[in-house]
Amino acid sequence: MRAAALLECVDVSVNYGGVCAVDRASLAVEPGQLVGLIGPNGAGKTSLVDAISGFVPISTGRVLFDGVDLARSKPHQRARAGLVRTFQSLELFDDLSVRDNLLAASERPPWWRLAGEVAWPRLGRDQLAEIDGALESVGIAELAGRSPGEISQGQRKLVAVARALATHPKLLLLDEPASGLDTDESAELGRRLRTLLDRGTSMLLVDHDMGLVLEVCDHLVVLDFGRVIATGPPSVVRGDRSVIEAYLGESLADTLDRVDGDAT
Amino acid sequence: MTDYAFYLLLGSGAGAVIAMLGMGLVLTYRGSGVVNFAYGAIATWVAYVFYGLRADGDYVLPFPGLPERIDGGDEMAFVPAIAISLATAAALGLLVYAFVFRPLRLAPALAKVVASVGVLVAVLAMVQLRFESTILSPAKILPSEPVTIARDLTVPRDGFWLAGIAITLAIALWAVYRFTRFGLATRAAAEDERGAITLGLSPDALAALNWTAAAVVAGAVGILASPLTQLSPLLFTALYLVPALGAALIGRFTSFGVTCAAGLAIGMVQSTFVQLQVDVSWWPEIGAREGLPFLAIVGALVLLGSRLPTRGSIEIARLPRAPIARARAAELGLGYAATVAAFFILPGGWRIALLTSLIAAVLALSLVVLTGFLGQISLAQMAFAGIAGFALARFADDMRIPFPIAPLLAALVATAFGLLVGLPALRVRGINLAIVTLAGGVAIQEFVFKNPDYTGSIAGGGVRIPKPELFGIDLGLTVKGALFRPAFGVMVTTVLLVLVVAVMNLRRATLGRRMLAVRANERAAAAAGIDVARTKLVAFALSAFVAGVGGTLIGYRFGTISDASYGLFASLTVLAFAYIGGIASVGGALIAGAVTSGGIFFFATQEIVGRGSSANLELFIGGVALVAMAVLNPEGIAGALRQSRASRFLEGRPR
């Protein structure tokens, strides 16, 4: 077992009533790594992300973040510790502007400033600069003043990623950030994720866009029926014909052909 | 022990009423997904109609503008009277569904709750408008000769009759839902409306049928149960409705049998409290009856962790927008100066109307924080106000704490109660929270406000609030001979200004952003590192503080306060007018104050038209307007103004 993992799931199971959504899954994300979590629909990917971020209880196993067992942490405590997620469905705060969406997530003022703001609300210049930086890093700085209702689905996805980034996460759990993006936007998102990685944010990426996942991830974990059925670098998983046939079928074979075609 | 057996059996009548109302609530919920806070109002109206027919044969119509009553000659016989009354109930249920809840079926829970509050307010106001004496002691309908069960144990038998009817009703409803095609279809529609539509069922028709059936049950309860005690407007709408909600919650708004059993149990246990008072020295003399349903409700929701079974309905519409209002010094200053000037210039009647409006605006602001920003509903705002009012009496009169400190301390006491009522909000939200706050409000009312230890003797007119005085300047409303003094108006205006600025700032502050984030999506808020529980508690505390300030102003205005100053009905009207004005913005709260019953708008209309309108007519208009707002324009008047871009003064420009 690697010692220095940032996130470590050990034999994690998630049960809904009698249904076992995740079955003793283990995975690790090391600092500076972008790990892809893939698998067919209903494989348990989102359930595992929910378990890691504290939205569903785990029935067996442990989740360790930065060496600390998260069993007793509530979702917001995990977020404050640097384990931040996005959602598959759009979950922006509709009545707040894009900038305020990011502010709501990033601010951690002490209680006396919270009280003081009711008498005199103000934002520090550095606070705003930080927000603009987070928006810039996903390429939507110009949307800061807009309301979530006025922007496109794809842009809303990016706001969700920026909002997560504004909290200075150590590890970002991205649940299908590319769904709703077109191919170009998706490739652009991939490049931006790599840039973020270089700046020190580790990531766990769940997505259906095989092109994106195979291209940007350092390491893949393949889930099916709640179990981890393969792990390894994309080149290995991609080459593993049995994985392709058993789990991803012909569609991946096609995707692989396309990716290979793009590469040559 | 025979004593307790006696009271348990005696309580079977009240228990049956609770059980039947509870089952009616379940029926409405299963049929349409609405928790109908106005359910007791149907029972109330039908009861008055029935006893009106029996007394003088007049059939009373509830529509303003139409003739008030149809003269039916002499007193009507029992059978036709009951037939007409139950038909009235069915029509009322159908009407309310068709015009209020059918249009709202895709609306957020908040809109449904406020709409049912609107119906409740309108019906109660109409009862007061149409019936001269609203306290009736109707003659018995069910056989009530005493029956001897054992030696020393003789009780009147009408309770058993009612209990028998309740149990029969439970079995009948269960059988209908279990075995008939109608029951199966309703269950299917409750599970998945879209699926039911594809199967060729009409959820609308099913809901209408269920509403009609529930209304007939309510009408029957109103007629049969009124002779048990005195009939009064609050009997079914609050005193029986709260325990009925408790019973329905214990039955998880699904099971008729459990609801029936829970209702009977609550009524019977409540009845034994009379004896417990005698036997147990520390047993509270007042309020325990209302405390029990509150505990049952909190217990059912928090301990059982039960939520209402969610309905597979189609799409949920959004809550009213909460726009940013920039506090611009010039506009606020102008408004302040104009209001202050009005207190010096206008004659006495205007000043009183203006005061009513300003104080109502303070109370509406408390709901802007809680409902507008946080998205949670409270039906207990007047209870918080009252806590502060009575605390003020204690601090200022008994302990002689000087002016600005005593009301602030009093508002802090209200804050503590707000936290207490807010605690269930950590587990409970939406409609369920509205139920908790309603029950909490009733419990505070009965437990605290009706206790002479805290609130003075009724004979003495309540407790005295000394006049406010700052730096030797008397800020009282009346001082020997001088009525309607402007100084008091200036004080109230200043308090409102401070709160307006604070709430505007809150919307732009970290706390406000967190509240709106929680309102939008609790999961996403937690994922963004926001402590949802703490944010809710802070909002409850702030809201109760503002309501508490409003309560102290009410105290100073009247000089003496009693439990009637802070009635449950007032809590509902505060919510009603706040929603009409616009629940999610500061401008909306100011409009709410202006249009409130007895406020500046109605007074001005009265002066211009030259005809007096009664407070009850204003409340009726308020109730109907609330329903109309909920159905047609959930953003309130402030939202309508915003859309017409005529609101720069009240709302401010978009950011």
Nearest-CA distance A139 → chain B (Å): 20
Look up tokens 């978009």; give the residue.
Answer: B654
Mean of all residue pLDDT scores within chain B: 82
B532 at the A interface (CB within 8 A)? yes
Q: Are residues B278 and B395 in the same domain?
A: no
B chain contacts of residue A79, beta-carbon cutoff 8 Å: 526-529
Whole-number pLDDT of residue B315: 41
Contact A104 B530 (CB under 8 A): yes
pLDDT of B648 reads: 47
CB-based contact A121 B505, cutoff 8 Å: yes
Q: Does B151 touch chain A (CB under 8 A)?
A: no
Q: Is position B259 within any domain?
A: yes
- The answer to whether residue B283 is domain-embedded is yes
| Contacts across the A-B interface (CB distance below 8 Å) | 105
Whether residues B388 and B488 fall in one domain: yes
Instruction: Say yes or no to pLDDT of B53 above 80.
Output: yes
Cβ <8 Å between A91 and B524? yes
Flag whether residue B305 sits within 8 Å of chain A, measured between CB atoms: no
CA–CA distance, B90 with B209 (Å, rounded to integer): 9
The stretch B576-587 carries a mean pLDDT of 84
pLDDT band of B328, cuts 50, 70, 90: confident
For B520, the closest chain A residue by CA position comes to A93
Highest mean pLDDT among B378-382, B600-604, B616-620, B637-641: B378-382
Residue B623 lies in a domain: no
Q: Which residue of B has its CA nearest to A117?
A: B509
Task: Specify the amino acid at residue B11.
Answer: G
* Angular region, A230: left φ>0, alpha ψ -120 to 50, beta rest: beta
Complex prediction ipTM: 0.86
Segment B2-29, tens digit of pLDDT = 777 778 888 888 899 999 999 999 999 8
B98: Cα within 13 Å, side-chain hemisphere: 9
Tokens of B110: 């908040």
Cα A252 from Cα A240, distance rounded (Å): 11
If DSSP codes are grouped into helix, strand and coil, which group holds residue A140?
A: coil
Does B574 reside within a domain?
A: no
Q: Report yes or no: B528 at the A interface, CB cutoff 8 Å.
A: yes
Please identify, among B567, B587, B612, the residue that sits at the C-terminal boundary of a domain: B567
Q: Residue B164 pLDDT > 60, yes or no?
A: yes
Q: If you measure CA to CA, which chain A residue comes closest to B501?
A: A119
Write out chain B residues lying below 8 Å of A164, CB-based. Answer: 527-528
pLDDT per residue as tens digits for the range B202-215: 778 888 888 999 99
Indicate the pTM of the whole model.
0.85
B114 located within any domain: yes
Residues B421 and B461 in one domain: yes
**Cβ(B164)–Cβ(B179) below 8 Å:** no
A-chain CB neighbours of B499 within 8 Å are none
Structurally, chain B folds into a number of domains equal to 2
Question: Is B519 in the A-facing interface, judged by CB distances under 8 Å?
Answer: yes
* B280 occurs within a structural domain: yes
By the 8 A CB rule, do A202 and A27 touch? no
Co-location of B353 and B280 in the same domain: no
Shared domain check, B436 and B301? no
Where does the pLDDT of residue A204 fall: very low under 50, low under 70, confident under 90, or very high at 90 and above? Answer: very high
Which A positions 55-114 lie with beta carbon below 8 A of chain B? 55, 74-76, 79-80, 84-87, 91-97, 100-101, 103-105, 107-109, 113-114
- Write the DSSP assignment of B423-490 as a string of letters: GGGGT--HHHHHHHHHHHHHHHIIIIIT-HHHH--TTTTSEE-PPPEETTEE--S-BTTB-S-HHHHH
Q: CB-based contact (8 Å) between B514 and chain A?
A: yes
Contact B363, B550 (CB under 8 A): yes
Q: Do A86 and B527 touch (CB under 8 A)?
A: yes
The predicted model gives B196-207 an average pLDDT of 78
Give the residues across from B59 on adjacent strands. Answer: B70
Q: Do A117 and B528 touch (CB under 8 A)?
A: no
Let me know whether B301 and B398 are in one domain.
Answer: no
Q: For B528, which of A79, A109, A113 is closest by C-beta distance?
A: A79
- Segment B145-174 mean pLDDT: 83
Pair B495, B418 in one domain: yes
What DSSP string runs through B265-333? HHHHHHHHHHHHHHH-TTS-SSSHHHHHHHHHHHIIIIIS---PPPP--S-PPPPPP-------HHHHH
Name the residue type at position B387.
I
pLDDT mean across residues, chain A: 83
pLDDT one-digit tens code per residue, A90-125: 688 888 889 889 988 887 877 777 777 877 777 777
pLDDT confidence bin for B655, thresholds 50/70/90: very low
pLDDT for the residue B313? 45
Q: Is A118 on the interface with B (CB under 8 A)?
A: yes
Closest-CA residue of B relative to A91 is B524
Residue A9 phi/psi, 5-degree rounding, is -105, 130
Contacts A118 to B, Cβ<8 Å: 502, 505-506, 509, 511
The total number of residues shown for chain A amounts to: 264
State the average pLDDT over residues B365-381: 88
CB contact under 8 A, B528 and A105: yes
- The last residue of one of the domains, among B567, B602, B637, is B567
Same-domain status, B400 and B511:
yes
From B321, B502, B511, residue closest to A95, measured CB to CB:
B321
Task: Report residue A29's pLDDT band, with 50, 70 and 90 as the boundaries.
Answer: very high
B524 → chain A, closest CA residue: A91
pLDDT band at A35 (very low <50, low <70, confident <90, very high): very high
Chain A partners within 8 Å of B523 (Cβ): 55, 75, 87, 91
What pLDDT does residue B650 have? 45
Average pLDDT over residues A209-213: 81
- pLDDT (mean) for B426-449: 80
Which of B509, B523, B529 minimises the CB distance to A80? B529
CB contact under 8 A, B528 and A55: no
Quick one: B389 and B245 in the same domain? no
For B394-407, the pLDDT digits (tens) are 888 778 888 888 88
Distance (Å, whole) CA A223 – CA A212 = 17
Rg value, chain A, Cα? 19
- Give one DSSP letter per residue of B499-522, joined into a string: HHHHHHHHHHSHHHHHHHHHHH-H
Give residue B459's pLDDT.
Answer: 62
| B650 vs B4: which has the higher pLDDT | B4
CB-CB: which of A55, A96, A118 is closest to B502? A118
Confidence of residue B522 (pLDDT cuts 50, 70, 90): confident
Chain A contact for B505 (CB, 8 A cutoff)? yes
Do A53 and B531 make contact, defined as CB atoms within 8 angstroms?
no
Q: For residue B443, give the nearest of B551, B650, B290 by alpha carbon.
A: B290
Q: Is position B268 within any domain?
A: yes
Highest mean pLDDT of the ranges B113-117, B296-300, B302-306: B113-117
Chain B CA closest to residue A105: B528
Is pLDDT at B652 greater than 70 in this prediction? no
Out of B533, B552, B567, a domain closes at B567
What residue has token string 């067992």?
A69
Domain that holds residue B353: 332-567
Which chain A residues have a beta carbon less than 8 Å from that of B505?
117-121
B523 touches chain A (CB under 8 A): yes
Instruction: Identify whether residues B399 and B353 lie together within a single domain.
Output: yes
Residues B244 and B381 both lie in one domain: no
Does B621 fall in a domain? no
pLDDT at B391 > cutoff 80:
yes
Q: Are the Cβ atoms of A104 and B318 closer than 8 angstroms?
A: no
Q: Do A104 and B525 touch (CB under 8 A)?
A: yes
Same domain, B298 and B367: no
| H or E segment and range at residue B607 | helix B600-609
Contact A105 B521 (CB under 8 A): no
Segment B291-301 shows an average pLDDT of 78
Q: How confident is the model at residue B653 (pLDDT cuts 50, 70, 90)?
A: very low
Q: How confident is the model at residue B649 (pLDDT cuts 50, 70, 90)?
A: very low
The pair phi, psi for residue B635, each rounded to 5°, is -80, -10
The predicted structure's pLDDT at residue A260 = 57
Residue A120 forms contact with B (CB below 8 Å): yes
Taking 50 as the threshold, does the pLDDT of residue A1 lie above it?
no
Over the stretch B144-153, which tens digit does the pLDDT of each residue have? 777 777 777 7
- Rounded CA-CA distance B328/A21 in Å is 55
